[in-house]
Amino acid sequence: MEAVGAAIAIFMTIVLLWGKKEEYGGRFVLMAMGFLGMGILDGFHAASTAGQGFVLLRSAAGLTGSVWFSLIWLPGLASRNADWKGLSTWIVAVGSLLFGLWTMSARWTLPVMVQEGRFTTPAMTINLIAGVLFVVSSVRFIVDFHRSGRHEIFLFAGMALLLSAAQFSFPFSAPWDITWWSWHVLRLSAYVLVLGFAVFERKEAEDEIRKLNRDLQRRAAELEASYRDMESFSYSASHDLRSPLIKIHALSRILLKDYADRLDDNGGQLLNRIQDNAKKMEQLISDLLAFSRVSTKEIQKSEINMEELTREVFEELKPSVRNRSVHFMMKGLPSAFGDRSMMRQVFANLLSNAIKFTRPKETAVIEVGGTREGEETVYFVKDNGVGFDMEHADKLFTIFRRLHSQEEFEGTGAGLVIIKRIIEKHGGRVWAEGKPADGAKFCFALPRIDDSHESSSAPGETDSPQ
């Protein structure tokens, strides 16, 4: 019976220290220290034979538990102990083990606890003090139960009262008669009662899981509703918003063509500005729709030959540099694992930007490369264009934010934002480096695929003077 009580006490120590959140003002930690001391000393008590050590260990176990339990009246100590619970655990565990080993191995040094079959005054005093302290702690539990209504605290109050009764009856018991069994039954009843705390813990955990599942389902429904709203917006933007713009553009063109002789110079300029702004608005809507599609599109992953993909994109862009001198270099790009159409859009946007921002250069130099770095594969597109100031680098990946005026370079600024969204959807990251008038380098990193999936491709360099 002693061994069962010791096992339950150690189990409750674990529940209170690691199965419970830091709550109840740190008092659970103080109670855990009491259970730990009682569990270890009761374990030695169970392993000892009747005699001085047997009585001393049982008395010491009760006194240790009652002292720690009574400390719950001190809120300041309770909160500090919650912060020092690791150190407190070691002190109580080591102290209890050393006391138990001393009691078991050096019996001749023990104080006299039993004399002529009766408990001595020190033994009586220790157990009566322990009983009183358990009563004191039970009062605190009852007060806290009335304040909080928490049933597990009420269980601890009942446990403390049963342990106090066991301590009061132990000094008056005689081996193997009814009084001997009474304190055993009282002590085990207290431990069995407190096991109800573990039941409440499990119920609380199940309730918390159910609550989290309900929250998760609610959030999933909200996300699904948001997705439907986004699709609805995309449809509206592509039809309801574009249609008036197309009409404005068409009507202004008709006015310029058929009524030019009736318009003065100022009227013609105003109509041209209307057409230009209608085109810009249509482009903004197109870019917004592209960003929306990227955000909602599902990724279809497969192995991608990045060198082959980059060549295809550059070949498609060649007509835009027909009258320019462009030196295009590609240095061994490792394969990637992702959505091919999305990666195609990434390189199309990066290479288009490189071509656009190298326009002032007599000879444009565009370099594409990649390296493996740890758990990532890093790709880059570098150019010798106008560059940018790193102080404003955070604006690059913000939708519709531009570092250059519309008069200098056309565009809406959505291309890099789309790139960032695509790379983040693949679990990667994107960044940029640059210097005014000294070019820019845009990099993105993707999670590295296994070497077994890597396709071997020899590094190459392509010159494309136009």
Q: What is the pLDDT of residues 182-194, one digit of tens each?
A: 877 888 788 777 7
Higher pLDDT pick, 391 / 318: 318
CB 357 within 8 A of CB 381: no
Residues in the chain: 466
pLDDT at 104 over 70: yes
47, exposed or middle or buried, with CB in 10 Å at 0-12, 13-18, 19+?
middle
Helix-helix angle 151-169:178-236, to 10 degrees: 160
Which pLDDT value is given to residue 47? 80
Share of the chain above pLDDT 70, in %: 81
Q: Where are the beta strands (DSSP E) in 224-344?
A: 301-304, 325-330, 336-339
Average pLDDT over residues 298-306: 89
**pLDDT-wise least confident of 19-23, 151-155, 246-250, 296-300:** 19-23
Which pLDDT value is given to residue 72? 83
pLDDT tens for each residue of 372-427: 998 999 999 999 998 888 887 777 877 666 666 656 677 666 788 888 989 999 99
pLDDT at 460 over 50: no
pLDDT at 125 over 80: yes
pLDDT tens for each residue of 190-234: 877 777 666 666 677 778 888 888 889 888 888 878 777 766 766
Which pLDDT value is given to residue 397? 76
Q: How confident is the model at residue 319 (pLDDT cuts 50, 70, 90)?
A: confident
Pairing verdict, β 376-383 and 429-434: unpaired
Average pLDDT over residues 120-148: 89
Q: Write the DSSP symbol of residue 447.
A: E
CB 75 within 8 A of CB 56: no
**pLDDT-wise least confident of 125-129, 351-355, 410-414:** 410-414
Mean pLDDT of the chain: 80
Which pLDDT value is given to residue 459? 40
**pLDDT-wise least confident of 10-14, 66-70, 131-135, 172-176:** 172-176
Domains and CATH numbers, the chain: 2-216 (no CATH), 301-453 (3.30.565.10)
**pLDDT-wise least confident of 31-35, 127-131, 267-271, 306-310:** 267-271
Token pair, residue 259, equals 């009524």
pLDDT at 291 over 80: no
Which pLDDT value is given to residue 464? 46
Which pLDDT value is given to residue 442? 92
State the Cα–Cα distance between residues 153 and 11, nearest whole angstrom.
17
Which pLDDT value is given to residue 462? 44
pLDDT at 448 over 80: yes
CA 244 to chain centre: 46
Helix (H) or strand (E) holding 198: helix 178-236
Residue whose token pair is 């408990």 = 119
Helices and strands, number each (H, E), in the chain: 13, 9
Share of the chain above pLDDT 90, in %: 19
Pairing verdict, β 336-339 and 301-304: antiparallel
Q: How confident is the model at residue 80 (pLDDT cuts 50, 70, 90)?
A: low
